[in-house]
Structure 1
Amino acid sequence: MKSKSLVFRDIEWWSVTFVFLIIIITNILMGMGNGYHDMMRFFGKVAMPIIVYLGFYLMHLVIIPKYLRDKNVLHLILFSVLTTAIMGALSGLAASAIGNVHTQFFRFFFSVIALYPGYLLTAILIKRIFYPPAFNDFQIYNGLRLIMVFVFISIFLFISQIFVNDVVLVVILMIVPGVLLVVLYNYFLLYKNKLAGKIKPYRWYLWCLFGFIILLFIIISAENNVPEIILFGFGLIALLFFVIFPLSELVFRKYDSVIGKIDTLSVQVNQSSANLSFLRSQINPHFLFNALNTLYGTALIENAEKTSDGIQKLGDMMRFMLHENQMDKIPLSREIDYLRNYLDLQMLRFAKEDHLDVSIQIAEEYCQGDISPMLLIPFVENAFKHGISTKSKSWIKINLRCLKGSVHLDVVNSMHPKKVTEDPKDESGIGLENVKSRLAHFYPQKHNLTIVANDTEHFVHLSVQLQ
């Protein structure tokens, strides 16, 4: 999966909590009057949203989670009816303190009773239609659920005007979404470009935003014939540039730092798991080296040059796996030596395959610097693993070249129908996901990996900036 499902019960809880907090604080700030009726009205405007909020809390975080655990429909109905009755009675008393709003209260009460089940049913419907495996990942599902939360909160605010005033509507339906959109604009179009050193796109998006704000306030000023409104536009730009953008960038940096730490830990765990699996799978390495040396000596005595050469290359590869593969960085020349040894052994293995065409071009003229080990070989391994058929014509083309400060690998191989007995887990090749993870960790925005495949051919291009 490319993404994960958001924890919507928590999102719903915090969203509703924020909305009711704004409502209650606004009603308190509106103040209470001096007379008895003003005091009762103030009490009703504050008490009624608190009662409704507590009813939502009991339903959303107590009764429904209990039903999901126990699957007891009778308890769900009983506790739901009891909570609704108590909330209706208490909120009715609070509404009576507000004033002559009986008709408005009943309209509000029955609308809320219909709205909450409607939200739950809509959430279930969206989950059944858009939840994986119906779609490849959770992005569409998450986006629709977030939009749904905002839509239902908006509907709730409009049907709750018995205790919701226009200030709350402006704050929640206009100011909060506007701030969120500006923060997202800042993150994806400003912060990301500035972080990547793309100053021209950063400035272009910044001036486009400021220009749009000024144009918007000029239009509003012209329609209302109040020139002073333009000053609010400049004030908003100042607020964005000196307050909202700097504060949001602090949050972005903290987020990137946490994500970076998570990526580092993930790579370390993957590396440790790979090392552990390797250690578990190996026989005593000293025994293997001694056995290889014995076979190498025997092959030389028997004048078996190809056999002795193959044994020597296998020994070099084992030393690489045992020692240099455990390092964070190794000389690029050693990575290429390992690749050459692997290719020589494969060519020794497939030397008599007439239907196999292998083209290898390795230019080492500028291959200097250090590289994370085992970044190149998995793509070549996959080419030999998936690109060779014993029945039909096969081809593998490997081109490795270096420019100053970078290395480039192209691998093209033929594709053949998968065997029935082939393990689906091996489809992407040995270590391919691990390589992608290490590339993202050690070479963020300093590598380019392109993989294109069809029914007959598989193409890989990898470029890594070493400096």
Structure 2
Amino acid sequence: MKEKPLHFRKIELWLVSITFFLIILSNILGGKIGISNLGHNNDQMARYFAYIFMPSFMFVAFYLMHMKIIPLFQKEKKVWKLIVFGLVSFFVTWFLVGIFYVGSDLGNSPFVPFYFSGVALYAGYFIIASFLKNLILNRKEPSYLTYNILRLATAYTFLVIFLFKFHHYFHFLISIIYLFIIPALIFIFLYNYFLVYRNREIGKKKLSLFYFWLLPILMLITFVIIAGISDAEEVIVVGLVSVAALMLIVNPASNAIFKKYQEHIETLDTLNVQLEEKTTDLKQLRNQINPHFLFNALNTIYGISLQENAEKTSESVQKLGDMMRFMLHENTQEAIPLNREIDYLINYVDLQTLRIQEQENIDILFSRKEEHCKGNIAPMLLIPFIENAFKHGISLQKKSWVKINLRCLEGSLHLDINNSIHRKSGEDPENVPSGIGLNNVRQRLNLLYPNCHELVIRENDLEYFVHLSIQLNKS
């Protein structure tokens, strides 16, 4: 509701469908004319069927216009179809309603007042809905929550106005339901959710209990005052029944709905975590080009380098092979031993050091304390920060540095990275996205270690600083 507009066409259809269903059903059951009187009076019989068929025709016209004609116009943008089909629907419905209206002596004029009122309300609703859309949504930062609430309130208000104009043609109980009972239920549900249920969920049980008893007590006091003013004792009975319905029906039903909603949200969160992990795995697997072939090739190169006494080459190949095995075998798991993640970081930094060790203007410092580095961690959470430091912090022409400090305490991991900054131009071949990216790592941290990590990133014109702490024993 906060992230996008609701599907109002379906919501409006359900609102109108339920309303007309109640009207037609109540009239069929004798809400206006008792079924037992139908065989004695032809006028009563004519009115009985008028009360059934007039709202039926109006609902069919609404359905055709709302779900067929207008969507067709929005899809094809053909004005003539909207005008032709709209006029046909209008005049055919007017003719059918008029026959029952005049034939049952409900009125003498063929200009059926409530029918034209209904058409005017329908047009007026769309004008206001369009105004709300242009006012709220057509902005740089649209407020979807505000729009959805106002649009729902507008739809309900126009429905109540229609019932007021149409109230002579159905049982008064339907008006009471829409004017009083439904708003009261909405208020009770919101009251229970925000003041009772939410407080209980966050541990404020005394406050939740206070609000739980406050509403029925206020209801009883209200009914007692009304009974005293009107001198009608039956009002107290109505109050007792209302409070009993609140405590025995409405409150348990609302709690069941809230729990179901909470379970639904938790299921969605779990699915989001799984989807995020699978997406990360897929991106990483796409980068593994025939790993078995690469392993065989690396072993061959490693053997040749040993025969030629190329120690740096053999060391580089060995570390690269270890990194590839990590990517293939352990990177797809949900959690791995922390020391394996650290080994991967060491191999990566060593390879980078071998690549640039002849450069005097580059300083690489990797200090670490691994005495307490125990437990498990989600794979590939640390390496993106180090990759980013080497990618943006190393220049072969300018003074550069990458300083990494890794330490473990009891149940926690702390990583600090400080590197120089050398902005790459748009034409630089290295200035392209690689790896899983820092944004992806932020999302994974929020999903896998909620409230159990701290990530601080700062930068200026010369340096880039990252601090990451993870509480591993709470993961």
TM-score by shorter chain over 0.5: yes
Q: Does 1:22 align with 2:22?
A: yes
Shift of 1:334: 1.3
Structure 2 partner of 1:116: 122
Asked whether the equivalents of residues 105 and 162 of structure 1 are also in contact (C-alpha less than 8 Å), the reply is: no
Alignment match of 1:207 (pick from 207, 210, 221): 210
Structure 1 partner of 2:283: 274
User: Quick one: which amino acid aligns to residue 14 of structure 1?
Assistant: W
Structure 1 partner of 2:231: none
The verdict on how the C-alpha distance between 1:270 and 1:32 changes in structure 2, with shifts beyond 3 A counting, is: same
1:115 is paired with a residue of what secondary structure?
helix
Alignment match of 1:318 (pick from 311, 321, 324): 324
The verdict on how the C-alpha distance between 1:79 and 1:252 changes in structure 2, with shifts beyond 3 A counting, is: same
The verdict on how the C-alpha distance between 1:276 and 1:218 changes in structure 2, with shifts beyond 3 A counting, is: same
Asked whether the equivalents of residues 379 and 460 of structure 1 are also in contact (C-alpha less than 8 Å), the reply is: no
Structure 1 partner of 2:345: 339
Q: Distance in 1 between the 2:166 and 2:420 partners?
A: 65
Alignment match of 1:237 (pick from 231, 243, 247): 247
Q: Distance in 1 between the 2:416 and 2:22 partners?
A: 58
Shift of 1:81: 0.5
Q: Distance in 1 between the 2:334 and 2:327 partners?
A: 13
Structure 1 partner of 2:12: 12
Structure 2 partner of 1:149: 155
TM-score, structure 1 as length reference: 0.76
The verdict on how the C-alpha distance between 1:262 and 1:108 changes in structure 2, with shifts beyond 3 A counting, is: farther
Alignment match of 2:95 (pick from 83, 89, 102): 89
Q: Does 1:53 align with 2:59?
A: yes
Asked whether the equivalents of residues 23 and 164 of structure 1 are also in contact (C-alpha less than 8 Å), the reply is: yes
Deviation string 1:61-82 (CA, Å, 9 cap, x unpaired) is: 1112222333321121011011
The verdict on how the C-alpha distance between 1:108 and 1:270 changes in structure 2, with shifts beyond 3 A counting, is: same
Can you give the 5+ residue segments of structure 1 that lack an aligned partner in the other structure?
A: none
The verdict on how the C-alpha distance between 1:12 and 1:230 changes in structure 2, with shifts beyond 3 A counting, is: closer
Structure 2 partner of 1:293: 302
* 1:64-143 pair list within 5 angstroms: 64-96=70-102, 100=106, 106-131=112-137, 134-135=140-141, 138-143=144-149
Q: Distance in 2 between the 1:159 and 1:24 partners?
A: 16
1:246 is paired with a residue of what secondary structure?
helix
Q: Distance in 1 between the 2:288 and 2:434 partners?
A: 23
TM-score, structure 2 as length reference: 0.75
After alignment, is 399-408 or 59-68 more displaced? 399-408
User: Quick one: which amino acid aligns to residue 172 of structure 1?
Assistant: Y
Q: Distance in 1 between the 2:189 and 2:119 partners?
A: 35
The verdict on how the C-alpha distance between 1:420 and 1:71 changes in structure 2, with shifts beyond 3 A counting, is: same
Of the two, which has the highest radius of gyration? 2
Q: How many correspondences in the alignment?
A: 457
Deviation string 1:435-462 (CA, Å, 9 cap, x unpaired) is: 456556655x564565667876676656
2:167 is paired with a residue of what secondary structure?
coil
Q: Distance in 1 between the 2:396 and 2:188 partners?
A: 59
Q: Distance in 2 between the 1:397 and 1:187 partners?
A: 51
Alignment match of 2:224 (pick from 218, 221, 225): 221
User: Quick one: which amino acid aligns to residue 277 of structure 1?
Assistant: R
Q: Distance in 2 between the 1:360 and 1:136 partners?
A: 47
User: Quick one: which amino acid aligns to residue 289 of structure 1?
Assistant: L
User: Quick one: which amino acid aligns to residue 337 of structure 2?
Assistant: P
1:326 is paired with a residue of what secondary structure?
coil
Shift of 1:186: 5.6
The verdict on how the C-alpha distance between 1:211 and 1:276 changes in structure 2, with shifts beyond 3 A counting, is: same
Structure 1 partner of 2:33: 32
Shift of 1:55: 0.7
User: Quick one: which amino acid aligns to residue 32 of structure 1?
Assistant: I
User: Quick one: which amino acid aligns to residue 249 of structure 1?
Assistant: K
Q: Does 1:259 align with 2:268?
A: yes
Structure 1 partner of 2:375: 369
The verdict on how the C-alpha distance between 1:358 and 1:126 changes in structure 2, with shifts beyond 3 A counting, is: farther
Asked whether the equivalents of residues 44 and 96 of structure 1 are also in contact (C-alpha less than 8 Å), the reply is: no
The verdict on how the C-alpha distance between 1:12 and 1:241 changes in structure 2, with shifts beyond 3 A counting, is: closer
Deviation string 1:375-414 (CA, Å, 9 cap, x unpaired) is: 2323443455456788999887766555555545566778
* 1:369-408 pair list within 5 angstroms: 369-385=375-391, 402=408, 404-407=410-413
Asked whether the equivalents of residues 393 and 400 of structure 2 are also in contact (C-alpha less than 8 Å), the reply is: yes
Can you give the 5+ residue segments of structure 2 that lack an aligned partner in the other structure?
A: 229-234
Asked whether the equivalents of residues 408 and 464 of structure 1 are also in contact (C-alpha less than 8 Å), the reply is: no
Deviation string 1:144-166 (CA, Å, 9 cap, x unpaired) is: 44444334334433333343554
Asked whether the equivalents of residues 48 and 163 of structure 1 are also in contact (C-alpha less than 8 Å), the reply is: no
1:32 is paired with a residue of what secondary structure?
coil
Q: Distance in 1 between the 2:187 and 2:305 partners?
A: 68
Q: Does 1:246 align with 2:256?
A: yes
The verdict on how the C-alpha distance between 1:268 and 1:365 changes in structure 2, with shifts beyond 3 A counting, is: closer
Deviation string 1:5-28 (CA, Å, 9 cap, x unpaired) is: 433322222232223223333444
